[in-house]
Structure 1
């Protein structure tokens, strides 16, 4: 009798073994939830590093281009998207097809849909990059960087309307603080070193930066919506596709703008008159292009892994660092208003991160309870079968 019970129990156990890759993944997730959790945080940390390092370096190098004699708005716009070829080897590596027997995968979108999506995002990025170029030309880099915090408020609105983003008291507190942080600069423009900048140009730079922030926030929310509703692929290759192809469209649009505006005629003279020399001129543009691509990969990765609002919040973390570096390298003024703006930005950032910590802790508790219930059900089932 005992032998028969052991045989029956062994047979039931074998019947409950996962018989597909999805079942195996689900089983591993229940048995080792911490492993998946740590891998996710590792990816998020890597994307955060890319975003912060790339954004800070690209902003400072972009300002350096103007300070040392560069003046072409279309060239400054061009280099923000022209670095995409460095990502092509990664695209080849991560886009290799893998055999799969899973027939439940969503149907891929049509080529025409994807082409329209990339074309739209590319043209949207072209206009956004042009507005950022004007803002960086006409504003001190510290004011420009802190003013970009307004994109978080815009992104909150678009995330609520397009991505069903839920808001808590801590998230709203973060948005309010970061918006006030940027608004302080708007009402205290006289504190900037603007004696060499015409008031009209300062207003243009201010409005262009606000417009670029709103446009970029719309872009982030639409990208998240595209990942969820159109692309439906949870791979790093999908992130690379979303960066490379729209950047190619944006680069082509910038070439057309550079030729149509006639700015290409003065590039040779601009290179000759660049204060640091021709080699420095070329290297500055090259590294601007590279650092913007690094930043964009981090940004899209965070959209893919978390949300567009989270990626925007992380980008604000660079805002306190850039003005300090601007004071060191470009001798921008750092008065009391900018210090207060920086403190409010840090406070707002920490408020949002704490909310994400609470959400993560709640999620872990839910997974733990699910594991405990699953184990209890399995033990109960085994005891019933033995009886």
Structure 2
């Protein structure tokens, strides 16, 4: 019989083991980097979409709101309710493919009770209803220039509330952004004043001034509280959470404003107002409908930016839209585009870029810390 073939077992050396471990770690590292990049790209895509929704919705709704007042509308309660009543058009969005948040660690297995959720939505809805009414009164009694200038103060209010409620940190780029955007809005008051405005009675001017300041403070508070609710109560960041926040909050606000509309008796004169609208009854209805649609598009963008970034960032983007409106007014209403408006717009863009650059630095520092 021949000899059995000799079987040799090759045992990997220590160097080979180290090389295999190194290759495996490198592969895992590459996969982790790819996932991180995908999440970063998704975040910036969402930020772009939400920013577009906010700016486009705000611009359209503001221009149509001005058209409503200019062409014969004078109901402050109707101008208020159209800012929130359009929420049913968002309900079909529940049936879109769900958006999975990249922040899975924030998802809680113990959802808040129905009582807590009801109190949260009712409280935010009350703030929303009060703010919309105050803004409507302010726009009714104040020149557009003064109104826009006071609305820019919501940045300062939001920054103050974010400091206490959301642990907002102020860096040189953020401060630069706030200063530039505030100056950008302030420049518009000089342009409007130089073009002349209808004198406003002293009493109405004071009422409009106080209402707009209070509305700006309330809006800044509502944004900070909304961010706080996402962090402390909902504890999740999903597209459904955004829809829930908008729809339930708007539902509560619509109910409160409806009570005010009927209690004030303004509903009795709406028929005469529609008949006397300078553009016709059909245009009257269309203007109100598209104001409602515009504000709901704005709400999606605003709330989306809150939980993707912060309430202060959402407010910065909102303020960016103030000098954008005159550009569209030039196109649709043939308003002159003067040098002051151009400078205002450039400063707003500069402030926006400054804030976005700070987020870029934060992301880069965060990725560096993970290495």
The TM-score bracket by the shorter chain reads 0.7 to 0.9
| Aligned counterpart, 2:177 | 174
With normalisation by structure 2, the TM-score equals 0.84
Preserved CA contact (<8 Å) 2:149 2:189: no
CA-to-partner distance for each residue in 1:288-335, whole Å, 9 max, x for gaps?
001100000001001111111111111122122112333454566766
What secondary structure is seen at the aligned counterpart in 1 of 2:322?
A: helix
Deviations 1:133-165 (A, max 9, x none): 122223344553454222111111111110001
Gaps of 5+ in 1: 18-23, 371-387
Aligned partner of 2:4 in structure 1 is none
Q: Shift in Å at residue 41 of structure 1?
A: 0.9
Tell me which of 234, 241, 251 is aligned to 2:244.
241
State how many pairs are aligned. 351
**What is the aligned counterpart of 2:234 among 231, 235, 239?**
231
User: 1:350 — aligned with what?
Assistant: 353
Name which of 38, 41, 44 aligns with 2:44: 41
Aligned to 1:76: 79
Residue 319 of structure 1 aligns to a residue in which SS? coil
Which of 164, 181, 190 aligns to 1:161? It is 164
Q: Report if the CA contact (8 A) 1:54-1:294 is conserved.
A: yes
Assess if the C-alpha contact under 8 Å between 1:320 and 1:346 holds in 2: no
Structure 2 Cα separation of the partners of residues 96 and 38 of structure 1 = 15
Pairwise CA distance, 1:190: 4.2
Q: Residues 237, 344 of structure 1: CA spacing in aligned structure 2 closer, same or farther, 3 A cutoff?
A: same
Indicate the larger mover: 34-43 or 132-141: 132-141
Equivalent in the alignment of 2:3: none
What pairs with 1:1-387 in structure 2 (closer than 5 Å)? 5=12, 29-93=32-96, 105-183=108-186, 190-191=193-194, 193-195=196-198, 197-330=200-333, 341-367=344-370, 370=371
Over aligned residue pairs, what C-alpha RMSD do you find?
3.1
Q: Could you tell me how far 1:185 is from its partner in structure 2? A: 5.9
CA contact (8 A) 2:52 2:301 kept: yes
d(CA) in 2 for partners of 1:161, 1:5: 60
Deviates more, 1:88-97 or 1:212-221: 88-97
Question: Do the aligned residues in 2 keep the contact of 1:53 with 1:295 (CA within 8 Å)?
Answer: yes
Call closer, same or farther: CA 1:30–1:337 in 2, change over 3 Å: closer
Q: CA deviation at 1:76?
A: 0.5
Q: TM-score, normalised by structure 1?
A: 0.81
